[in-house]
């Protein structure tokens, strides 16, 4: 049975992906896990006679990696994806005897680094579990082992994605619903002990972020599900919000955990519908599959020095989403996809751009992409990666999605400028630095005339208005300094309206050590 392979492209999003344009300044660093964005593909290509021959084992591994990484790419119909899955299962099952550990390893790496494909991989595992229950058992044992190791090593994103996979395995009857509730009970066990809010928030978030993927399969367990939501609501109702102001980037808003809780409740009321999650498991019958128990997840006890993620940070919102056609839970899932892609492909910004516009969504996502990138770049007290990474990502997306993303980005920049008195001081500096780099890639083109009034306006006597004009003027001066450093003064004078020239930095002068103040040499 044949099945289609390919690189990330126009899989679901109708605008499609494609490689981002190059950038002469490059992107920031970061850990390039599993080869960054170049995790896919194996075999093929022209080889020099001087190249070291690939061993049969390595060649087999490369082919298996290529097959599993590319599954679902360039697929436009459910029927095609079904056929691809059947075809891949047909390739993997006969190979289990020789490459069992390799298949398990690659599958779990794909699950932890291609998060939007988790339902596809869970379906593959479910199909293979029907034919070979020992394989399903080994997958379950390995997942629990890896979760425990990741928690111990503070690899919290990997742990989150593996717990999500358990939820997807419930959908394919590899794991039972009662076992899923046991996992949730373990994750919420810190709430019955002495705990710090940061630690408790993390484990509550693990439960809440897994529910959208498995809620439909748990919906018949009414009593257990109601008890779970009662426990979550009790905790959320007693949380402290004192720290929220320290992480506020822009306007006041719900924090990440408050927002997610509301979104999951709305999804529950909507029969657990979520269009942004691939529901391919519904195309197969797993009712008679053998289910496997899970060993206990071990939560680290001596974790006083752990750097748990912070969930008291208010949401960063620029666009009014009250009229959005997209449901709140879909918005959350898409944001999660983007954040995870930024994390795993931080060393390969072009690949990250490809994957962002290959997500399994059919709605317009430009506003969510811009807002999420700016939110991550402006995160307090510091962003996860260098500021240049987020800026280069926007440059790549501009070059590939320019017809739709440019007006969205322009609106975001204008909104931030017009409300700059609501931005944290540190965020204003990042905003100027990031926007300067962006302009340097597009010949410094901007609607400069719209901003010139704040340079020429006289004090109005209204403290609020005058303060806003003062901060806007300071921002422009910082922006001009930054773009001049990326170019040169004469170029800036040619590119900018004359109103901006007095605010450009002074032409650098040589500093002669033996030059007297009257200009004569000693």
* CATH number for the domain running over 57-70+79-175: 1.25.40.180
What confidence score (pLDDT) does residue 31 get?
Answer: 40
List, for residues 159-189, the tens digit of each pLDDT value: 999 999 999 999 999 999 999 999 999 999 9
Fold identical between 57-70+79-175 and 176-275+307-315? Answer: yes
Question: CA–CA separation, 522 vs 516, rounded Å?
Answer: 7
pLDDT tens column, 380-439: 999 999 999 999 999 999 887 767 899 999 999 999 999 999 999 999 999 999 999 999
Within 13 Å and on the Cβ side, how many CA atoms surround 160? 23
Q: Which residue has the higher pLDDT, 127 or 48?
A: 127
**pLDDT for the residue numbered 516:** 62
Q: What is the CATH topology of the domain spanning 176-275+307-315? A: 1.25.40
- 503: Cβ contacts below 8 Å, ≥ 6 apart: 455, 473, 476, 477, 480
The pLDDT-based confidence of 76 (bands split at 50, 70, 90) is confident
Q: Is 364 left (phi over 0), alpha (psi -120 to 50) or beta?
A: beta
Nearest to 357 by CA among 370, 346, 347: 370
At 412, list the tokens. 């975001």
pTM given for the model: 0.85
At 366-385, the pLDDT tens digits run 999 999 999 999 999 999 99
CA distance 229 to 218: 12
Q: Between 3 and 479, where is the model more confident?
A: 479
Query: In the chain, what are the domain boundaries?
Result: 57-70+79-175, 176-275+307-315
């Amino acid at each position: 049975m044949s099945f289609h392979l390919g690189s990330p492209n126009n899989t679901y999003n109708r605008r499609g992906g494609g490689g981002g344009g190059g950038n002469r300044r490059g992107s920031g660093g970061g850990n390039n896990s599993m080869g960054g964005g170049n995790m896919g593909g194996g075999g093929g290509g022209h080889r020099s006679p001087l190249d070291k021959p690939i061993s049969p084992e390595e060649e087999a591994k490369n082919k298996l990696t290529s097959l599993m990484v590319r599954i679902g790419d360039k697929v436009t119909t459910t029927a095609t994806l079904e056929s691809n899955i059947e075809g891949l299962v047909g390739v993997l099952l006969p190979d289990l005897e020789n490459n069992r550990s390799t298949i398990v390893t690659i599958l779990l790496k794909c699950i932890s680094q291609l998060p939007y494909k988790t339902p596809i991989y869970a379906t593959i595992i479910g199909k293979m579990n029907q034919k070979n229950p020992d394989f399903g058992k080994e997958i379950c044992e390995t997942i629990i082992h890896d979760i425990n190791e990741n928690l111990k090593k503070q690899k919290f994103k990997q742990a989150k994605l593996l717990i999500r996979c358990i939820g997807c395995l419930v959908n394919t009857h590899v794991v039972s619903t009662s076992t899923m509730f046991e996992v949730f009970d373990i994750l919420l066990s810190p709430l019955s002990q002495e705990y710090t809010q940061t630690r408790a928030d993390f484990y509550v978030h693990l439960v809440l972020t897994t529910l959208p993927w498995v809620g439909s399969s748990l919906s018949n367990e009414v009593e257990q599900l109601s008890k779970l939501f009662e426990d979550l609501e009790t905790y959320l109702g007693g949380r402290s919000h004192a720290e929220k102001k320290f992480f506020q980037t822009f306007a006041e808003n719900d924090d990440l955990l408050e927002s997610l809780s509301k979104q999951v409740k709305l999804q529950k009321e909507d029969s657990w519908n979520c269009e942004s999650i691939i529901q391919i498991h519904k195309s197969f019958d797993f009712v008679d599959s053998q289910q496997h128990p899970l060993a206990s997840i071990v939560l680290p006890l001596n974790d006083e020095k752990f750097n748990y993620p912070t969930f008291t940070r208010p949401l960063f919102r620029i666009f009014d989403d009250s009229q959005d056609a997209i449901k709140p839970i879909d918005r959350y899932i898409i944001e999660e996809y983007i954040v995870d892609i930024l994390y795993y492909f931080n060393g390969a910004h072009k690949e990250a751009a490809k994957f962002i516009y290959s997500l399994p969504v059919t709605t317009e996502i430009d506003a969510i992409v811009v807002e999420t990138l700016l939110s991550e770049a402006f995160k307090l007290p510091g962003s996860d990666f260098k500021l240049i990474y987020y800026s280069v990502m926007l440059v790549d997306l501009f070059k590939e999605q320019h017809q739709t993303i440019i007006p969205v980005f322009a609106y975001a920049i204008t909104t931030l400028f017009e409300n700059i008195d609501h931005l944290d001081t540190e965020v204003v500096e990042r905003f100027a630095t990031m926007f300067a780099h962006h302009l340097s890639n597009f010949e410094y083109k901007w609607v400069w005339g719209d901003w010139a009034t704040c340079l020429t306006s006289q004090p109005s006597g209204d403290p609020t208005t005058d303060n806003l004009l003062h901060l806007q003027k300071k921002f422009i001066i910082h922006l001009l300094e930054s773009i001049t450093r990326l170019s040169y003064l004469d170029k800036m004078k040619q590119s900018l309206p004359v109103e901006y020239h007095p605010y450009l930095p002074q032409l650098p002068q040589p500093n002669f050590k033996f030059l007297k103040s009257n200009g004569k040499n000693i």
